[in-house]
Structure 1
Amino acid sequence: MGKVIAEISMSLDGVVAGPGTNTEHRLGRDGDLLHTWMAHGNEVDHQVMAGFFTGTGAFVLGRTTFDMGIDIWGPDGAFERPSFVLTHRAAEPRVQGKTTFTFVTDGPESALAQAKAAAGDLDVVLMSGSPIDQCLQLGVVDELRIHLVPLVFGAGVRLFGDLAERHIALERTDVVATPTMTHLTYNVVR
């Protein structure tokens, strides 16, 4: 059975979307700066990005990430794997190319169970702040990958916002540093 991996780009002050998220600024004001490494990084950054899909059988994302990304991802849906959208708003599954987005309204446990079933022996990647926070709170994340952007926002949507009552021990297993990024990998200690 594969691992449950939480993977996200984050500023030094824990922001995963800039302030003022809305339909015009889907990642908040200047939030796109958190992801420029994916397209404009160096060869090492591109190798890290390719690893995002290696061994991944399914994705779990939040509704906000889906709403902000669906137009950007284009007609193929970008992921080419089953993707489960954790949401409070029910919707019919949406097929875009090789990507099927299934909307899950009955909680993170259900989204994760469906993603694991779809992934088989491959990994499930959690790729938005809310599902990551919820699954860390539940104690079901095996690995945490943070793509640390050398930027301080000061305000915005922060990762780890719902973990005030829980301490999570981590063991660093890898660090990849490039001129513009630090890619950190941790095992979650249980």
Structure 2
Amino acid sequence: MAKVCFGMVMSLDGFVNDREGGMNKLYASFEPNEEINDMMARTGAVIFGRRTFDLADADSYAADYEFQVPIFVVTHHPPEKHPKENDQLTFTFVTDGVESAVRQAKEAAGEKDVLILGADVFRQALKAGLVEELQMAIAPIILGKGLRLFEQLEELEIDLEKIRTIETDKQVEIWYKVLQQ
């Protein structure tokens, strides 16, 4: 059965982008490793928010995106032109909420995992009790300003269990299981 995971690189002070909205400083230290490659192989579908979808040229996903799986984009406004797809990578624009996106993504993923990418859609899924695992890569930088990942979650108290930790020369990655909300 597919589990719903969230993955993100954030600064030591909790930001997922810098004061200009960029993420290059965070990913400068990112090093793919065996655990990340395994996670990618276990991923059967991806969920984005619209802002995450808009970070790249929509037609480039089919040729260049590392996850060649069905992608579900949670949005109030689907693009006018449907992006290019291929035999593995398809786009579904979900306008009826994150719960619907998770349900559809789990169905598409089959026995593989569903990966959520993007701060806003993550917060929506976490508030709805839909996230089962967090994978956080901590970049060796303090940004001071930007978009905080755990903003707007004041009403939640969530217990986590550390599953594993990986330390590379440039960053630390921590996997947590969500226990209760």
TM-score above 0.5: yes
Determine the structure 1 residue equivalent to 2:74.
Answer: 86
Determine the structure 2 residue equivalent to 1:147.
Answer: 137
Q: Give the CA deviation at 1:52.
A: 3.3
Contact 1:93–1:102 (CA<8 Å) still a contact in 2?
Answer: no
SS in 1 for 2:156: coil
Q: Give the CA deviation at 1:157.
A: 1.0
Q: Give the CA deviation at 1:88.
A: 1.5
SS in 2 for 1:54: helix
Q: Percent identity?
A: 36
RMSD over aligned Cα atoms: 1.9
Counterparts of 1:73 and 1:17, CA distance in 2: 22
**Which has the higher mean CA deviation after the structures are superposed, 67-76 or 6-15?**
67-76
Alignment of 1:33-182 (within 5 A): 33-38=25-30, 41=31, 45-70=32-57, 73=60, 75-78=62-65, 79-91=67-79, 93-97=82-86, 98-182=88-172
Alignment of 1:17-28 (within 5 A): 17-21=17-21, 28=22
- CA shift in 2, pair 1:67/1:76, >3 Å: same
Contact 2:58–2:84 (CA<8 Å) still a contact in 1?
Answer: no
Determine the structure 2 residue equivalent to 1:183.
Answer: 173
- Residues 25-54 of structure 1, C-alpha deviations (whole Å, 9 max, x = no match): xxx2xx20212344xx3xxx4323313312
Alignment-mate amino acid for residue 146 of structure 1: M
Number of paired residues?
177
Alignment-mate amino acid for residue 7 of structure 1: G
SS in 2 for 1:94: coil
Segments of structure 1 that go 5 or more residues without pairing to the other structure are: 22-27
Q: TM-score, normalised by structure 2?
A: 0.89
